[in-house]
Amino acid sequence: MIHGITPQEVFYALILTGYVIIVVYGGRKLYSYVRGKGKSHEVAVYYTRKYIHVFAGGVIAVLTPFLFTTPLLPFLMALALTGFLYFMRKTGRLMWWFQVKENAYEVNFTIAWGVSLIILWMATGDPNIAVLPGIFIAFGDAVTGVVRNMLFEKRTKHWAGNIAMATVSVPLGFLYAGSIGAFAGLIASAIEKFEFPPLDDNILVAISTMIILLLAA
């Protein structure tokens, strides 16, 4: 796998790493904007998390099949980000605009993104299938959070969010993996409602999607 990496891919990985840093720290502006609208800290944090989901996890998931020939570099990027997020949390230097003391679900997001990618890519050899769990937890879960935040202005597991997620995940699943991808998107949208701490919806969506795609493969 290492021998298949080109200097060009290393360059892409470095550029994307810098991009993720910009997205993460740029989230402070969104947080400040939402707070300026009179919303609570909790609401602002939740919106910022979903923004990072889309513009970090989602955008890179979409670009990965076009930029990389093996899953190793994207996986290592996710692993490095996981370590960074955990370090900031462990040392008490929370990035207050999207990290909260109550849970480490942003760490779960990067783990789920990276592990599902490398497992599916190695098992199927198809990068388009491999990025699907990451796409679901990035785009699908982001829509879920935005809808719930707009309706209830707090973190909740109302079914309205799952319906919204399905409207995004099912078409994206079909686009990337045909009917089995659409089915995986539907199941992932239902699974998102549940969590069993420390396993959150990011982990459960990634696992359920992987199982469906691996069985189909």
pLDDT in tens, the chain (217 residues): 656 788 999 999 999 999 999 999 999 999 999 999 999 999 999 999 999 999 999 999 999 999 999 999 999 999 999 999 999 999 999 999 999 998 899 999 999 999 999 999 999 999 999 999 999 999 999 999 899 988 888 777 888 989 999 999 999 999 999 999 999 999 999 999 988 888 899 999 999 999 999 999 8
Domain count, the chain: 1
Token pair belonging to 159: 């079914």
> Where would I find the H helices in 53-198?
59-67, 72-90, 105-124, 127-130, 132-135, 141-152, 159-191
Token pair belonging to 126: 């198809």
Residues of the domain holding 104: 2-216
3-state secondary structure of 94: coil
Amino acid at 12: Y
